[in-house]
Amino acid sequence: MRIAHISDIHCHHGSDFNPKMFTKATNMLNNYESDLVFITGDLTTMGLLHEYEMAKQKIEEIKGEKVIVPGNHDERNLGFKLFPEFFGKPDFIKTYPQFNLVGLASSEPDKDDGHLGRGRHALIEKGIAKNDKLTIIGFHHHVIPIPNSGRETNIIEDAGETLDILLRNKVPLVLMGHRHVPYAVQIHKTLLVNAGTFSCTRTRAHFGNTFNIIDIQEKNINIRVVNVAEETEHQLISFDLEQQCYHNALYD
Ligand SMILES: [Fe+2]
Ligand SMILES: [Fe+2]
């Protein structure tokens, strides 16, 4: 199966959203013919009704099934009440032929900080208990500090407990966003993967707008980063599920 992992679209009628970049990124993304598009939050910038309407309309241009969790920006200004109306439950377990996907709302109203809490930890464990398949966990905030993204401020406040659950259960893949830079690292038997921003003008240095393409085969997970402006792709990380070893293009 192929998952397109995109994040931080930031629909906004001010300067945050780059409509030309969105259209270009969407055309490139649609050519990958992914089985599933997983969006790890920040679809809007202020959580406003007209931004939600814009986000709904924009992501209809993206082909295929879309699965979405909210980001901190989507929860602003009562946006947390709009999210379920537009995009469904913010916490869920979905079952696919090759994996179970646990999506979690790591954001809280009017706060940039992230938090999962015991209820969502229980949902992670419920997803893992369906152990006939791979378990993939996704939420907006990051669980470890991300290089090239400035001073650490918004890591989930229960990161220690969350990381412990993920590592003890050997969850193979965790998908996150928020920091507007792509990143991947393996800790123990878990891949932690961040998508950069799909269409926000707030990009960092030369990272630009990017999205991740994740190919899950029987024995391997391979992840590429696609740079929208440059129209290039490079391998971010690959993980051998049998040997439990990996190649990380950032560090090898
Ligand atoms: Fe963002
Ligand atoms: Fe964010």
Cα 222 to ligand 2 centre (Å): 25
Residue-wise pLDDT tens digits, 127-182: 999 877 899 999 999 999 999 998 888 999 999 999 999 999 999 999 999 999 99
For residue 189, the CA-to-ligand 1 centroid distance in Å is 28
From first CA to last CA, the distance across the chain in angstroms is 26
Cα of 234 vs centre of ligand 1, distance in Å, is 23
- CA of residue 191 to ligand 2 center, whole Å: 20
Q: Band of the pLDDT at 198, cuts 50, 70, 90?
A: very high
What is the DSSP annotation of the chain? -EEEEE----B-SSSSB-HHHHHHHHHHHHHT--SEEEEES-SBSS--HHHHHHHHHHHTTS-SEEEEE--TGGGGGGHHHHHHHHH--SSEEEE-SSEEEEE---EETTEEEE--HHHHHHHHHHHHH-TTSEEEEE-SS-SS--TTS-S---S-TTHHHHHHHHHHTT--EEEE-SSSS-EEEEETTEEEEE---SSBS---TT--SEEEEEEE-SSEEEEEEEETTTTEEEEEEEEETTTTEEEETTT-
List CB-based neighbours of ion ligand 1 within 5 Å: 8, 42
State how far the Cα of 95 lies from the Cα of 101, in Å rounded to an integer.
6
Q: Percentage of the chain surpassing pLDDT 70?
A: 97
Ordered DSSP codes for 77-120:
GGHHHHHHHHH--SSEEEE-SSEEEEE---EETTEEEE--HHHH
Q: Tens digits of per-residue pLDDT, 5-50? A: 999 999 999 999 999 999 999 999 999 999 999 999 999 999 999 9
Query: What distance in angstroms lies between residue 240's CA and the mean position of ligand 1's atoms?
Result: 31
CA of 102 to the centre of ligand 2 (A): 19
Distance between Cα 40 and ligand 2 center (Å): 9
Q: Which ligand is nearest to the CA of 196?
A: 1
Residue type, 216: I
Q: Model-level pTM?
A: 0.96
Label residue 242 by pLDDT band (50, 70, 90).
Answer: confident
Query: In this predicted model, what pLDDT tens digit does every residue of 74-96 receive, in sequence order?
Result: 999 999 999 999 999 999 999 99
Take residue 7 and report the two structure tokens written for it. 């994040």
Q: Assess contact for 197 and 10: CB atoms under 8 A.
A: yes
Smallest-distance ligand from the CA of 70: 2
Please tell me the number of the ligand nearest to residue 7's CA. Answer: 1
**pLDDT value, residue 239:** 87
Calculate how far, in angstroms, residue 70's C-alpha sits from the geometric centre of ligand 2: 9
